[in-house]
Amino acid sequence: MNKTKGKVLIVDDDKDHADLLVESLQKQCSNAIAAYTAASAKSAIDRDGIDVVIVDYDLRSDTDGLDILQYAKQAKSSTKVILIADQNNTVACEQAIRMGAYEALTKPVDVDSLRLMVSKILPTRGDGKAVEDFEFPGVISRSHYMQGIYKVLRRVAPTNISVLIEGESGTGKELLARAIHENSDRRDNAFKPINCAGLTESLLESELFGHAKGAFTGATADRKGILEQADKGTLFLDEIGDMPLSMQAKLLRVLEDGIVVPVGATKAVVVDVRVVAATNHDLAKLVEEKKFRQDLYFRIKGVSLTIPPLRKRAEDIPELFGFFLRQACEELGRDIHRITESAMSILQSYHWPGNIRQLRHVIRTMVVMCDGDTLDVGDIPPDVHLVKRLSGRVEGQPDMSQDFVAQFTGRSLEEVEREHIRRTLDYTNGNRAEAAKILKIGERTLYRKIKEYDL
């Protein structure tokens, strides 16, 4: 059988069960180990750089499986954690998923399915050797959209091909560009980003190409441009759609010939750069409108990728949430592990115009606002709150009604009504008069429904 590379840790205080899982996983994973206590699990995580943790929720010690989940993710965010809980403990399973667990299973666990799951996380090559480690440090994503993107990146990153990344602001374009660089042979040389928007043409030219001493007022010394600084490395051209047309022509020439002449210099410099470009415009449309040069478009678009906005991949939110929660807690010296179901559900159905960047800020604000050890609806900033989503289309924002409907598809009208009333009451912190106003029903009707639905 093809063995996977990667380390698997089984954490279970039932020694026999842990050993059984280790034995079964060792058939496919040469490096499966067991820990019977939380303390030894933590030292294995610190010591061994574990890739997959399979942890029993009920450890019968002062801690539980969720604590190990949090510890493992903090030690290495790419570690995948599978939680196993008792059949009736769906609360722990839901909490684990909210905290970024890869999967949460209830007992009895089918060992073959578990093995299959681990083999999906740690793939093998046909010749039995493990796939080369391919790291996207700090890049979180489990949605099928993002998995598709990673598949392409795995192939593309190690080559020299130019990559064009399209996506709304804050979707993680620069992060992916860095991941491409880190997974290429150029990783030991520089990754140089430059934002092509917001710079005057002459500034952009001098930033890109450099300048000679005395080239213009203020040029008191020779200065290497970004292109030269990125020699043998990667040049990241952010917001390339905003580059002035005349600069586009100059850039194309350099990319074609690999020769840079700094502003005011007489000598040319030969450079070897790989280009990764990003834009939040539809570049093909800009080409049609003659606002972007077609020849440059083809030059930078060796492979093009579009990162979907966060609202189209709400399934990524729990894992991103866990990641940013840990970051914020570390930064602010807080110890918060949990989020209520209603709060997570609000985060998952918000439309996130600022995408992942906005999510990160919101989670930080929630940590600041939170009094206890669990984030709740009241900690969510008002602009992310329910009312905008429930009132349908927000001006200037996409229509969210589809996402809203999708949440409730397959549920009865009664269930939807109950849930809707519950969330609205959450939103108004239990203020019935305000909730009735939002719901556009009388207060007496609301009172009746609260009793009827036992809210």
Ligand X SMILES: Nc1ncnc2c1ncn2[C@@H]1O[C@H](COP(=O)(O)OP(=O)(O)OP(=O)(O)O)[C@@H](O)[C@H]1O
Binding residues (CB under 6 A) for ligand X: these are 138-141, 167, 169-175, 238, 278, 280, 320, 323, 356-357, 360
Q: Supply the angle between the helices 443-452 and 413-427 in degrees, to the nearest 10.
A: 120
Of the two residues 79 and 171, which places its CB atom closer to ligand X in the complex? 171
Closest distance between ligand X and the C-beta of residue 283, in Å? Answer: 14
H helices of 76-136, in order, are 90-98, 111-121
Residues 373/367, Cβ–Cβ less than 8 Å:
no
| 139: nearest Cα among 97, 190, 179, 186 | 179
Tell me the closest approach of the beta carbon of residue 138 to ligand X, in angstroms. Answer: 5
Q: Minimal distance in Å, beta carbon 143 to ligand X? A: 10
Nearer to ligand X, 174 or 419 (CB): 174
167/233 with CB nearer ligand X = 167
Q: Shortest gap between Cβ of 455 and ligand X (angstroms)?
A: 36
Nearer to ligand X, 11 or 320 (CB): 320
Torsion sign, CA atoms 81, 85, 91, 92? negative
Nearest distance, CB of residue 183 and ligand X, angstroms: 15
C-alpha–C-alpha distance, residues 377 and 341, integer Å: 9
Cβ contact 29:6 at 8 Å: yes
DSSP structure string for 158-170: TS---EEEE--TT
Tokens of 279: 């834009």
Q: Which is nearer to ligand X, 184 or 424 (CB)?
A: 184
Q: What backbone torsions phi and psi does residue 224 show, to the nearest 5 degrees?
A: -70, 135
Q: Shortest Cβ distance from residue 316 to ligand X (Å)?
A: 7
Residue with the CB atom nearest ligand X in the bound state: 172
Please state, in angstroms and rounded to a whole number, the distance separating the CA atoms of residues 365 and 356.
14
| Cα Rg, the chain, nearest whole Å | 26
Nearer CB in complex with ligand X: 56/166: 166
Closest to 392 measured CA to CA, from 382, 383, 384, 402: 402
- Identify which of residues 230 and 436 has a Cβ nearer to ligand X in the complex: 230
CB of 133 to ligand X, least distance (A): 18
